[in-house]
Amino acid sequence: MARKCEICGKAPQYGHNVSHSKVRTNRRFLPNLQTGLVNIKGKTVKARVCTRCLRTHSA
């Protein structure tokens, strides 16, 4: 299952962990996805959405 919001399309972003010695290692920033009931075009459906979309489109 893709880690992607079904409403806004928010997906993982990439960056670096930076240690005290400034060594950079790759990391991923994952979206906070939750399963919830949301209204899409007047219908209530169960979807995997980010918390911002869950707050604005909640049933």
DSSP 8-state secondary structure symbol assigned to residue 23: -
Query: What global pTM score does this model have?
Result: 0.80
35-58 mean pLDDT: 91
Average pLDDT, the chain: 93
What pLDDT, on a 0 to 100 scale, did the predictor assign at position 59? 66
Predicted confidence (pLDDT) at residue 2 exceeds the cutoff of 80: yes
Q: Residue 14: how many CB atoms within 10 A of its CB?
A: 8
Beta-bridged to residue 44, according to DSSP, are 39
What are 7-28's pLDDT values in tens digits?
A: 999 999 999 999 999 999 999 9
Q: Residue 50: how many CB atoms within 10 A of its CB?
A: 20
User: In this prediction, what percent of the chain has a pLDDT beyond 90?
Assistant: 83
Question: Residue 33 has which token pair?
Answer: 């996805």
